[in-house]
Amino acid sequence: MEIHSEFVTTKVSDGTSMRLYVAHPAGAAAARGLLVMQEAFGINAHIRDVTERFAREGFLAAAPELFHRTGAGFEGRYDDFPSAMVHLKELRDPNMEADFRAAYDWLRANGVAAGSPIAAAGFCMGGRAAFLAAITLPLECAVSFYGGGIAPNPTNPGLLNRVKDLKAPVLLFWGGRDQHIPVDQRRAVADALKNAGKNYVSVEFSEADHGFFCDARPSYSPVAAAQAWPLTLAFLNTYTAAREQRASARS
């Protein structure tokens, strides 16, 4: 499918401006929207590629630049995590929630009509961001790839105290060999979702490491990535198609 992609700029409620990398099917209106949440390395080539992949599946996909307050245009190298930490440590949930709302509103104003579905998918810090977006926004569903900081860890208080406010089903991907998100943290997320009675799916690839979906990382796992992609699409399609059908029935 031919797509169109570009950077656009939108306003956030705190008065800042934020870039979005957007991609959509060329020459056709996308009936579904998707927020694509970045890794700690910015809106880099990998995140742009993933955003375009979702566009080829029929989504109007938008990746908000969550580092816009401290590093607009930042694209970090995977072998230089300290440069990403400069921006990552300055992130605050209220600011990110404002960014999510701005990106959501941009999707609504630029092709995803009221009543049409919007979902989220994110990777690494973006996996946590997608989970937080499902707490913040009226999404249809969210997909989190190895989302560090959903469970409490030494550098992040986590989001488990907010699970009760989760508004959408979530699909969680984990790597069994991921030392950044050890098994006790993965279990804590599942337990919190189960205890709150939330709709979730948790998938662990036993031989995969952190970042297994990213083909620019040494930890890339072609096998796990090849299996995770159709599961992601099936999950997104299940919930966004149901919303489309309800919207069509009302029109």
Just list the catalytic residues: 124, 178, 210
Q: How many CB atoms lie within 10 A of CB 175?
A: 24
Angle at which helix 125-136 crosses helix 93-109, to 10 degrees, equals: 70
Residue from 156, 148, 214, 203 nearest 176 by CA:
203
Helix (H) or strand (E) holding 159: none
The first and second tokens of residue 34, run together, are 């998707």
Could you tell me which residues come within 8 angstroms of residue 179 by beta carbon, excluding any fewer than 6 positions away? 209, 210
- State the residue for tokens 């700029």: 9
Report how far residue 145's alpha carbon sits from residue 216's, in angstroms, rounded to the nearest whole number.
15
The first and second tokens of residue 66, run together, are 């969550």
108 touches 116 (CB < 8 A): no
